[in-house]
Amino acid sequence: MVNNFLQRVLIIGSSGTIGQALIPELKKLNAEIITPGHNILDITNPYQTKDYIHQVRPSLVINAAAFTDVEKSEKEQLKAWKINAYGPLIVAKICAEQQTPLVHFSTDFVFSGEKKQPYTEEDRFNPLNVYGTTKAAGDLFVSHVTDQYYIIRTSRLFGMGKSRRKDFVQRIIEAITSQPYLKIVDDQVACYTYSNDLAKWLIALFKTNARYGIYNLCNKGECSWYKFAREILKLKGLSFYKIKPIKTAEWPSLAKRPLYSSLSTKKFELVTGIKPRTWQEALKEYICCSSQEDYN
Ligand SMILES: NC(=O)c1ccc[n+]([C@@H]2O[C@H](COP(=O)([O-])OP(=O)(O)OC[C@H]3O[C@@H](n4cnc5c(N)ncnc54)[C@H](OP(=O)(O)O)[C@@H]3O)[C@@H](O)[C@H]2O)c1
């Protein structure tokens, strides 16, 4: 299946963190990859999206486009709904009409965080903020409009993208050069995901002919933003830098966030036989292999 599947892959949102990680993995498989920019293919424009996909006739569509700024989503709600819910509906509808499989990405923020164990693919949505609500709507649209879909639910991505948004690792490293000390939230626990690992796991799903459906994909282990920041500083040889753990309530934020939103990857492990490595191992590789220019 993998060969037919990957003949002509359209990646929407290819400049983002996931999009950039997918390109080299797909190239290894000699896939023809089509990566239109946001200016060429805007998923909130149904006519443009339909024309483009009809013209290109991809064998697989990967929708990695999203409005991922959780704080801005609270203020720019219409934009969040358009890109995270309406856009995926448009793309899924076109894919269904063309019988083209679709990969779409989701987030742990579709959950409220009240569960005390990792969330599975079967758990019900209960988002706390606009971003999570719009993403949950996008998931529902995709799963109702087409049968041939993989919804990949992931959380707290780190990795190199070309889009304007910097990941947490880059933001921490930048912040310590400009601020005397940092306060970082220590009571929101979740899983972290290295985008390069995620791209490899997605290919593994294709290679094992995994059934369509939802799959949670993230690195092993869970921790807070504070503990993750501590590990970044340790790996950069900057453990002496002062960071202070704080509670969510002490951090000014428009968006409510789940306090616990770890994802269980058991379904993926059963299907592929792959056990994701720990976030510490993945973070070490990311930090050690990225040059200073990559961060700028
Ligand atoms: N980042 C995380 O921590 C995280 C966590 C869980 C799940 N996810 C999910 O993973 C997926 C990928 O996230 P990411 O972090 O890789 O995203 P990202 O780095 O923020 O990149 C988003 C991409 O979407 C494009 N885009 C935005 N609006 C568009 C539109 N209307 N039409 C076409 N393209 C558009 C952007 O292009 P421009 O830059 O040119 O606008 C960019 O290429 C999303 O579904 C996200 O919800 C992310």
Global pTM reads 0.95
Whether 164 has a pLDDT exceeding 70, the answer reads no
Interstrand relation of 189-190 and 223-224 (parallel, antiparallel or unpaired)? antiparallel
CA-proximal residue: ligand 1, atom 18 (nearest)? 16
pLDDT digits (tens, 9 = 90+) for 86-145: 999 999 999 999 999 999 999 999 999 999 899 999 999 999 999 999 999 999 999 999
Pocket perturbation via mutation, ligand 1, pick of 22, 38, 53, 82 by most ligand atoms within 8 A of CB = 38
Domain boundaries, the chain: 2-161+194-218+263-277
Whether 22 has a pLDDT exceeding 80, the answer reads yes
Which ligand 1 atom minimizes the distance to the CA of 44? Answer: 31
Whether 21 has a pLDDT exceeding 50, the answer reads yes
**Mean pLDDT score across all residues of the chain:** 94
pLDDT digits (tens, 9 = 90+) for 84-95: 999 999 999 999
Comparison of pLDDT for 13 and 289, the residue scoring more: 13
Whether 265 has a pLDDT exceeding 50, the answer reads yes
Domain 2-161+194-218+263-277 has CATH 1.20.1630.10: no
- CA gap 58, 54 in Å, rounded: 8
Instruction: Kindly state the tokens that stand for 166.
Output: 């910097």
| Residue 104 and residue 142 in contact, taking contact as beta carbons nearer than 8 Å | yes
**What is the pLDDT confidence band of residue 5, given thresholds at 50, 70 and 90?**
confident
- CA gap 173, 201 in Å, rounded: 28
Whether 39 has a pLDDT exceeding 90, the answer reads yes
- CA gap 248, 184 in Å, rounded: 9
